[in-house]
């Protein structure tokens, strides 16, 4: 479920796809939950990401963590 929207739609892919996936991994590592915990199955998640512009909700405590760490801040700004 870390596929970037352009990857889901089969469009040309570049470095932003990798940044998207890294951001999703960081969210899951920091929270212990997937970026979209309310998604019932992978097919629904991929459809929401690729065709409805659904992005993960970043909780306030994660934003504080990101702003206190320059590497995480960079990732936050990229996602």
Percent of the chain with pLDDT over 70: 73
Could you tell me the residue ranges of all domains in the chain? 5-78
Cβ atoms of 32 and 77 within 8 Å: the answer is no
Q: What is the pLDDT of residues 21-34, one digit of tens each?
A: 888 888 888 778 88
Using an 8 Å Cβ cutoff, are 14 and 23 in contact? no
Please give the residue that has the higher pLDDT: either 70 or 45: 45
The whole-model pTM stands at: 0.68
| HSE of 18, CA atoms in CB hemisphere, 13 A | 2
What is the distance between the alpha carbons of residues 32 and 55, in angstroms, rounded to a whole number? 17
Least confident range from 4-13, 40-49, 53-62, 66-75: namely 66-75
Count Cα atoms within 13 angstroms, Cβ side, for 41. 2
């Amino acid at each position: 479920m870390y596929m970037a929207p352009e990857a889901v739609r089969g469009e040309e892919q570049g470095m932003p796809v990798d940044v998207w996936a890294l951001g999703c991994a960081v969210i899951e590592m920091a929270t212990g939950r997937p970026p979209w915990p309310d998604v019932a199955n992978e097919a629904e998640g991929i459809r929401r990401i690729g065709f409805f512009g659904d992005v993960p909700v970043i909780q306030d405590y994660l934003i504080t963590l990101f702003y206190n760490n320059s590497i995480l801040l960079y990732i936050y700004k990229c996602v």
